């Protein structure tokens, strides 16, 4: 998660996608579609809901791009050349399921979505710290942590609670549009508002697609 300029105002407003587990090469399954209605409003979905939906063009998720944009958890998705197995398989993805279920029940969130965000943000590493200073499972920036009242972002329970609450705020702010909420979680709500949709940033577009792919994996 990036620290958006002026995060706090958007928290007040709110109160009132991808990477395959085993890749050869690094290909994505999930797709994002956009549709412009008769009023000129752009809608983003993960399925071609409308007759004239178009696939959103995304930059290729090469290993180089992955390491460039997501250095914190790149190690968790690297391929073992000796065994041909994803290192992700060695990570206990169920370690925080109890916390996730409890917190999602509190905020009315889909557990699979929060789990997908955690996987994309930190690879389930509670001690993850990005080069930009984002911390913990859901990669909260210091300013965002302060706004959310998260005292210890490296504490798994506090981090998940804060990150889930922020994600809920973004969903509320963008009418439960999952793609836009995820884009706002990554780039900040102001960027999504400014561009009228998913911002044309490689990192953000890849992020949305990765999370949506993980979300689909957990749902089925």
Catalytic residues: 121
Complete DSSP assignment for 79-144 = B-TTT--BGGGGS-TTTTHHHHHHHHHHHT--HHHHHHHHHHHHTT-TT-B-TT--BTTTTB-HHH
CA within 13 Å, CB half, 151: 0
DSSP 34: E
Structure token pair of residue 56: 């959103």
**Burial zone of 165 (CB within 10 Å; 0-12 exposed, 13-18 middle, 19+ buried):** buried
The span from the CA of 192 to the CA of 185, in Å, is 10
Half-sphere CA count of 27, side-chain side, radius 13 A: 3
């Amino acid at each position: 998660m990036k620290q958006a300029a002026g995060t706090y105002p958007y928290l007040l407003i709110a109160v009132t996608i991808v990477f395959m587990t085993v890749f050869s090469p690094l290909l994505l399954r999930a797709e994002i579609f956009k549709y412009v209605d008769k009023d000129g409003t752009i809608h983003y979905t993960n399925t071609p809901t409308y007759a004239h939906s178009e696939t959103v063009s995304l930059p290729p998720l090469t290993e180089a791009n992955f390491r460039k944009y997501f250095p914190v958890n790149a190690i968790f998705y690297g391929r073992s050349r000796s065994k041909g197995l994803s290192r992700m398989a060695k990570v206990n993805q169920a370690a925080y399921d109890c916390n996730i279920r409890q917190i999602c029940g509190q905020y009315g969130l889909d557990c699979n979505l929060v789990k997908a965000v955690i996987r994309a943000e930190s690879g389930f590493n509670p001690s993850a710290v990005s080069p930009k200073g984002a911390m913990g499972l859901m990669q909260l920036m210091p300013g965002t942590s302060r706004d959310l009242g998260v005292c210890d972002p490296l504490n798994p329970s506090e981090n998940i609670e804060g990150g889930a609450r922020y994600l809920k705020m973004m969903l509320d702010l963008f009418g439960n549009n999952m793609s836009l909420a995820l884009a706002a979680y990554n780039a900040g709500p102001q960027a999504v508002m400014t561009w009228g949709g998913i911002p044309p940033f490689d990192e953000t577009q890849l992020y949305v697609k990765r999370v949506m792919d993980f979300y689909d994996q957990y749902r089925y």
